[in-house]
Amino acid sequence: MSNSISILLRRNLLDVFGENDPVRRRAAIDEIFTEDCVFYDPKNGIYRGRDEIDRIAGVIRATHPDFQYQPIAEPDLSGDGGRIQWVSGRPGEAPAYAGTDFIVTREGRIVAVYLFFDTLP
């Protein structure tokens, strides 16, 4: 299955790191990530492979299960990669934090995700 980079950016944000249900999260990971994928987290390190991305996404969600990610701009695309800027927080409240996800893709799947935390807009 081939996905556009814009779709992959949104699905990574919402269906992986924004998903509380572990079965749905894992299904999304298996669909949109390559087997040799990697996630670079500036605070906690590097996670390699679908199993590790699934594990760390679950750990991150458990710290704030009621937060929702919200894109704040349309994805920017370049070559085989792209970025999406977002905020996260409790619905109806001011965002608690902001970030940018950069991805690199191969054959319609995510090979690498680079997370950067941003200053709140």
pLDDT in tens, 64-81: 999 999 999 999 999 999
pLDDT in tens, 88-108: 999 999 999 999 999 999 999
Report whether pLDDT(2) > 60.
Answer: no
In angstroms, the CA 93 to CA 77 distance is 30
In angstroms, the CA 94 to CA 42 distance is 23
In angstroms, the CA 121 to CA 112 distance is 26
Can you give the pLDDT at residue 1?
Answer: 42
Domains, the chain, ordered by start: 5-118 (3.10.450.50)
Can you give the pLDDT at residue 51?
Answer: 98
3-state SS, residue 119: coil
Report whether pLDDT(61) > 50.
Answer: yes
Can you give the pLDDT at residue 121?
Answer: 74
In angstroms, the CA 43 to CA 52 distance is 16
> What's the whole-model pTM score?
0.94
